Chains A and B, each alone.
Chain A
Amino acid sequence: MLQPIPHELTIILFFPILSAPIAYLLGRIEGKYARWFAIIVTLVEFLLTLHLALAFNIAKSNELQFVEYYDWVPQFGIYYLVGVDGLSLVMVLLTAILSLAAAIGSNHIEEREGFYYFLFLLMETSIVGVFISFNLFLFYIFWEMVLVPMYFLIAIWGGPRRKYAAIKFFIYTHVGGVVMLISFFYAYWVYYLNTGVFTFNLYQLIGLEPINGGYAAVASFLPRDIGLILFGALFFGFAIKVPVVPLHTWLPDAHVEAPSPISVILAGLLLKMGGYGIIRIAIPMIPFAAKELAWPITILALINIFYAGFVALWQADFKRLVAYSSISHMGIVVLGSIVGNVEGLTGAIFMMFAHGLINGLLFLLAGVYKHHLHTRIIEEIGGYTTYMPLASAFLVVGGLAGLGLPGLAAFVAEFLTILGAFKTWGLRVAVVVFGPVLSAGYILWAVQRIVFGPSKTPHETIKDLCLPEIISFTILTFLIVLLGVYPRVLTDITAQFTSFYISKYF
């Protein structure tokens, strides 16, 4: 337990965005300087986050810590309210780790680096902001703030269909954001009508913080059908981000066309914003709706797992395959968060973290293959294992992690979620166990075509991983193995949070 730094959270929040202009200017001088600067910034950010984690009181992880509360527009209930509890801390840690890994892994971005890292750091701030804001207006600002840099990052440095993918991504997720905002306004209005207070503060709206001496939750003021609709709207907004089938089609295009380090951020963090939103906002705001709609949402989660898995099986493009596997894994997150028990919720949170690491690794590998072999097509990547033994080794580890091998992070999440699902639904969800077979199918098939098989002779010398790549891959692999063998590193942080959450909302 370390001593907290004053305003630590605000520093963590704004440090990247304040460094961003410097990165841009350095980039004008020489591209490499921007890259080194960005790596240093993300590293510092990571260390700060680590310090935050060590100063965090795990025994009280259901309470908000490091809270900073300032008036912004109090007349409308808009405040600068940031803090971390168990869940937020986990997500912020993930952000810091993946930003660092992605920054290191951006060694193949060779034009307009200044602007690239400017946008990159801007995004890091926005994502952190989403995870630590507890005032819904502030939350919305950061939520939307993520979209613009991401749009540019895809549209400028992306693949052949980047314009289409970027616009699709922006508009689609923006629609979700707007629906979410409308729901926020509605809740805000209902709250005002019943309590006379204008506030966007989350904890006040869900009744955890007192207002005028009493507790009031928006859910209690809503008749059943309105509550269901509001939950549906909130869920819709977040479901686009998660993504939940059938609102997922922005994802394959965005992931595939984005440059690989940005795919890491997209898959590793942006998707988690959706899951985070469901856990943090949608369910607590209208718990009775969550309970009523649990079974339909479970079905949706199962559809995610299987439908996306089957589509992944058919993909010839490695990056697209990994993108669909992301959708499949996020199905597990949705499943875990809706079953309403500690096992499931822990599984969901764990999966968010684990999947960020695992698919981060896989996307960076895709980037390596793109750069060294100039192709994303699996058939064409295969056969060069002899020339790229390290990359193949990491691919095997990443692939095994992705299919839920015990000893690696995703197993914990899948196992816990399955336990949780059975605990709530019994044998009705038995079909969920076929998920691991499907994921083993597409992953092993992809691995087989890439790593196994006769060697091909290359036209030009093929290089194996270079040092920055080795470093970022090793970091990610180490964490994946650590979490797989000793998951308590994460679950101890979330333990109090999950038990409080379940007891309160389910």
Chain B
Amino acid sequence: MNETSIILYSSIIMFAIGLYGLTTRRNAIRMLISIEILLNAANLNIINFAHRTALTNAMQAQVLVLFSIALAAIEAAIGIGIFINLYRIYGEAEIDIAKKLREV
């Protein structure tokens, strides 16, 4: 078991944790946190493999990860904005409140 595989397994575990959190949590903030974990897991995996490959692509991978982190931050910010609105309207920040468009 070398470094790559350890980091790979950890990112998989992280991914799973994030996925689990995303799908099972009702609280919006928890879902956001799960999304962060998910994204970070993916980022970690990219860096992991970028570290092992040829140098010319490593640069691209690292730039990609930087983008990804920035995007994660942005998306988290927007998400928080939406959820604060949600909290304001409904009084709680549970996701399953927003089902007005549901075809019953």
A and B touch in the complex (CB under 8 A): no
